[in-house]
Structures are given as structure tokens and as C-alpha cells.
Amino acid sequence: MPDLEHGFLYVGTTADGNPRLPPHVSEQIRRDEEIRPPRPDERGSVVAARKWLSAEFITLVVGLAIGLAFVASFVLFRDAQLKGKSIDRAAAKALVERIIIAESNGDPNARNKRSSAAGAAQFLDDTWLEAVRRHRRDLIKGRSDKEVLDLRGDAELTRDVAARLVEQHAAMLTKRSLPATPGSLYLAHFAGPAGAVALFSGAETADAASVMAAADITGRTTREKLVKANAFLKATTVGDVKSWADRKMAVGTRPGR
């Protein structure tokens, strides 16, 4: 007979004396227990789990951010190298001072009797005219080529043009994945950018003067002219001239070939 007070039927008892409930009632009670709120002693575990998950998430985000920053810095560094941003103006000016000491010991009136090189940085005629046209066009207006060439006697102007060329050469070397060191940049000043690339691409035992002459696509530079202007090139290999350039740019070296 139905128990109206409790609203369900008793179906005997279990072995321990507890009432046996119908299956559908037992299932309902089981579900109620599954969704019950946690007891006070269980809440600490839940909070700890949440903290652990939060820490794991934060660690993941930080790790991802670091990874993205590394990739971004790599790309920026690569782009800077492709754009030739391998030397700043201050570094270029500092290197120019060493080049000037090596070339003329700082004498703005120095001249090479065996070539057209003149001024503190010993710019050849063609090199100076081309550099001024590219970097200081304001100096060309109203001046003849001879007057522009005479500007090599202006020590400060020579330093300015030389520094701009150092930056240009550094960009060129970097773009070609060649070293932009004091020695290599001095070679670019001494042999021209094409000559420097040829030297760094040639065999160490090859004749340096021949390699430099072959790099001049105009054909105006010959081995004989190079040796006449720089006697030390008569029997100098590519490896020798690269080592020579490094020594010339070493602090404390004396001027002269």
C-alpha cells in the first residue's frame, strides 16, 4: 500500500536493515548526489585545481609571447641586414679616422705621385667624383670637375664623404652576406666595392692585383696600374691582402703600405 507521507514504496530491506528502494528512486538519488555542491573540505581542492590551471595557462601564454618576440626580433634583424643597417654613423666616423691615419697620417694635402689619389683619405679622381655625385650633389652646382676634385683638400668634407661611403659599403657587403668588419670595409675603400667583393669571393692563393683588376667592368683598371700605384701588390695573394687590411685597421698601426 502506498506510503502517502514519503511518496514512494518500500520494497523490503537490505542486509544491513536499510530500506530497499525502487530502482527509479535509487537512480534519482544518485543523480542528486552527483550534482550536490562540494563540501567545505572539498572546496580547497577545487580552488587549488583552478590555481594550477591558471598558472599553467599563464606559463603557456608567456612562453608563446617569448617565442613570438624571438621570431619578430629575428625577422627585424634579417630585414635590417638586407637593408644594410649594419653600421651607424658614429661607427662609420670612427672607422674613417683609422682609414685616414692609414692612408695619409691625417694630411689633407697628401698626394700619391703614382696615381690620382689625393687628400686625407686618398680618394682617386673617379671615386671622389662618383661619391660626391651620389652623396653631396649640392657641391656640384657651379663647380667644374677640377674644382670638385680640389675639395679633397677639405679635411672635414673628406671625412663626411668617406663616412657615407663606409655606410654604403657596409650595406653592400651585408647584402651579399660578406663580413662588414673594419678590415673588409677598408678593403672596399682601397679596392672599391667591386674589388672587395671579388677579393672575398676569390681563392686565398689567387693573385690579388689580378682579381681586383678583373672586378672593374669598365676595363680601366689593370694589374699593371694597380701594382704601379701600390708596389706591395706585385706579389700579394688574396689571403695576404685581406690580412694586410685587417692589420691596417688594427689600433696602433703606423701609416703607409
Q: How far apart are CA 178 and CA 194, in angstroms?
A: 12
pLDDT tens, residue by residue, 43-72 = 555 555 566 556 565 556 444 543 443 333
Cβ neighbours, 10 Å, residue 235 = 11
Percent of the chain with pLDDT over 90: 61
- Are the beta carbons of 110 and 103 closer than 8 angstroms? yes
C-alpha cell at 8: 514512494
Percent composition of the chain: helix, strand, coil (DSSP 3-state, to 5): 65, 5, 35
Distances (CA, A) of 57 to 47, 49, 67, 251: 15, 12, 15, 53
- Helix axis angle for 125-135 and 155-175, nearest 10°, is 80
Q: What does the angle CA 17 – CA 15 – CA 25 come to, to the nearest 5 degrees? A: 75
Distances (CA, A) of 253 to 91, 97, 219, 248: 19, 12, 33, 6
Q: Which fold has domain 89-248?
A: Lysozyme (1.10.530)
- The pTM for the full model equals 0.65
Cβ neighbours, 10 Å, residue 242 = 21
pLDDT tens, residue by residue, 201-252 = 999 999 999 999 999 999 999 999 999 999 999 999 999 999 999 999 996 5
Section 83-104 average pLDDT: 87
Q: Which residues contact 173 (CB under 8 A, 6 or more apart)?
A: 86, 179, 180, 184, 185, 188, 196, 197, 200
